[in-house]
Amino acid sequence: MSTIEDMSADYLRRMDAAAGSLQPERRAELLQEIHEHVDAAREAAGGDPVAMRNALDRLGDPVEIVAAAQDGPALVAVVAPRPGLGVEIAALLLLTLGSLVPFAGWIAGVVLLWSSRRWTTAEKCLATVVMPFGPAPALFAAGIALPSGSGPLTVIVLTTLVAFWVIAPIVVAVVLYRRARDRAAQESTDAATVSVRPSYRAA
């Protein structure tokens, strides 16, 4: 059976680890408060391990506490979320399947890609660079190369083309779709948090 000291140390270790994602200033403040709380709880437990266990259970999961600390003042500036992922899905479809329409489809996809606020600039650059005119040109190239002979060199060239020009855009599209979906979900959580704070805010 673990002692009160072990329990406290274990809890604080998990807390310190979970708080790693916070801004330094806020992390220092939160950790200091939680350490203080655990000290006070240890004192209140008066040597009773069960009382200490209960106190730590009531204090809650460190991950949950850190999540609560991440809802910061920036939330107030959150605009009403655009529901759905229509723009993002259209952008990704145009960047991949849309490239079957020479140039126009892919360019429309790039425009939509850069208009979305659910991707970072780095992600947008990646999607633009990794999908130059989409996977369709690779298929056309394969179509031209195929009749001209099927030696081992052609097979290697075709495999490489397919790998880099077809699979890479699809992988990037899937990753970007997931990120957009997660950020859309985060937006609605944030909006819910904002909406429960009505007009009592000091002017």
Partner 1 sequence: MEPGEARNSLTQLRRGVVEYCVLALLVKEELYGFDLIRRLSQVDGLVTSEGTIYPLLSRLRRDGWVSTSWRESDSGPPRRYYALTSDGHRALEAFTNDWRVFSRAVDDLLTKGST
Report the interface residues with partner 1, using CB under 8 A: 26, 29-30, 32-34, 36-37, 39-41, 43, 58-62, 64-65, 68-69, 71-73, 192-193, 196-202
Q: Which two tokens stand for residue 193?
A: 């948090």
**Rounded distance, CA 28 to CA 15, Å?**
12
Q: Considering beta carbons, is residue 32 or 120 the nearer one to partner 1?
A: 32
Q: Considering beta carbons, is residue 148 or 199 the nearer one to partner 1?
A: 199
User: What is the closest distance, in whole angstroms, from the C-beta atom of residue 73 to partner 1 in the complex?
Assistant: 6
**Rounded distance, CA 1 to CA 158, Å?**
63
User: What is the closest distance, in whole angstroms, from the C-beta atom of residue 14 to partner 1 in the complex?
Assistant: 11
AA identity, residue 16: D
**Rounded distance, CA 17 to CA 62, Å?**
9
User: What is the closest distance, in whole angstroms, from the C-beta atom of residue 40 to partner 1 in the complex?
Assistant: 4
Q: Considering beta carbons, is residue 67 or 155 the nearer one to partner 1?
A: 67
Cα–Cα distances in angstroms (integers) from residue 149 to residues 13, 26, 83, 159, 163, in the given order: 64, 65, 51, 15, 20
User: What is the closest distance, in whole angstroms, from the C-beta atom of residue 69 to partner 1 in the complex?
Assistant: 4
DSSP string, 121-161: HHHHHHHHHHSTT-SHHHHHHHHHHGGG---HHHHHHHHHH
Q: Considering beta carbons, is residue 129 or 196 the nearer one to partner 1?
A: 196
**Rounded distance, CA 23 to CA 70, Å?**
9
User: What is the closest distance, in whole angstroms, from the C-beta atom of residue 50 to partner 1 in the complex?
Assistant: 17
User: What is the closest distance, in whole angstroms, from the C-beta atom of residue 78 to partner 1 in the complex?
Assistant: 15
Q: Considering beta carbons, is residue 40 or 174 the nearer one to partner 1?
A: 40
Q: Considering beta carbons, is residue 122 or 196 the nearer one to partner 1?
A: 196
**Rounded distance, CA 59 to CA 55, Å?**
6
